[in-house]
């Protein structure tokens, strides 16, 4: 719970009513179950207005099929508590991998998905094949990109040249 405070303070333009965090805390990314949607930074706004809750979600990728599921999950979670909720998708400002919280990054690493590098390093890793993405299995930097596109819109595919393990890399989006 230590990082929860950061969620409302480190992300520019984010506005989440602390009283809503316990309910939102329950909801995970449908494609990466270890990652909570709060840690992804896709919830931009969650506020009370009279007796209704208004939530703004911003998609990671335009065509991310998980967005509809997330919106449904949020609606279900609030309805279970008998709270009326309206979920809206907003496009601007566009989501960036910077909005993933430190707790989210840790969860991704432990799950076996390498986390986004800073923009410049990311470009070199994805385009120049520089070895800077750490293997999630053995920690080696001797890794190569297998494909710029992976199993979901947000990932690229890497392989470790030391332990031979293939793994996902969460591509940097800024």
Partner 1 sequence: MKNLKNYILQIADNNLILGQRLSELCGHGPSLETDIACTNIALDLLGQTRSYYQYAASLENDDVTEDDLAYQRTEREYKNVLLVEYPNKHFGYIIMRQFLFDVFHQLFLTELLSSKDEQLAAIARKGIKEANYHVSFSGDWIKRLGDGTQESHEKVQEALDALWSYTGELFDPSEYEKQLIEEGIAVNLEKIKPIYLERVSKLFAEATLTIPETKWFKKGGKQGVHTEHMGYILADLQYMQRTYPNMSW
Tell me the C-alpha distance between 80 and 1, whole Å: 23
Shortest Cβ distance from residue 171 to partner 1 (Å)?
A: 8
Beta partners for 166?
Answer: 159
Q: Does residue 160 interact with partner 1 by CB under 8 A?
A: no
Tell me the C-alpha distance between 29 and 39, whole Å: 9
Tell me the C-alpha distance between 70 and 61, whole Å: 13
Contact string (CB under 8 A) for partner 1, positions 111-140, x = contact: ---------------xx-------------
Q: How far is CA 154 from CA 51, 70, 82, 100, in A?
A: 36, 15, 34, 13
Among 94, 132, 138, 141, binds partner 1 (CB under 8 A): 94
**Span from 28-36, 60-68, 76-84, 105-113 in contact with partner 1 (CB under 8 A):** 60-68
Q: Does residue 64 interact with partner 1 by CB under 8 A?
A: yes
**Residues of the shown chain interacting with partner 1 in the complex, contacts defined by CB under 8 A:** 59, 61-65, 91-95, 126-127, 146-151, 153, 157, 171, 173-174
């Amino acid at each position: 719970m230590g990082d929860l405070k950061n969620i409302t303070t480190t992300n520019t333009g984010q506005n989440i009513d602390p009283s809503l965090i316990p309910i939102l805390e329950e909801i995970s990314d449908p494609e990466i179950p270890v990652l909570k949607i709060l840690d992804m930074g896709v919830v931009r706004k969650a506020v009370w207005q009279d007796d209704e809750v208004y939530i703004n979600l911003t998609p990671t990728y335009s065509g991310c099929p998980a967005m509809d599921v997330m919106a449904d999950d949020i609606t279900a979670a609030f309805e279970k508590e008998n709270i009326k909720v309206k979920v809206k998708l907003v496009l601007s400002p566009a989501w960036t991998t910077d909005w993933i919280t430190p707790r989210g990054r840790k969860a991704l690493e432990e799950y076996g998905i390498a986390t986004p590098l800073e923009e410049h390093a990311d470009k070199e890793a994805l385009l120049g094949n520089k070895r800077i993405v750490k293997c999630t299995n053995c920690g080696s930097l001797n890794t190569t990109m297998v494909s710029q596109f992976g199993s979901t819109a947000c990932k690229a595919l890497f392989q470790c040249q030391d332990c031979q393990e293939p793994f996902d890399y969460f591509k940097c989006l800024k």
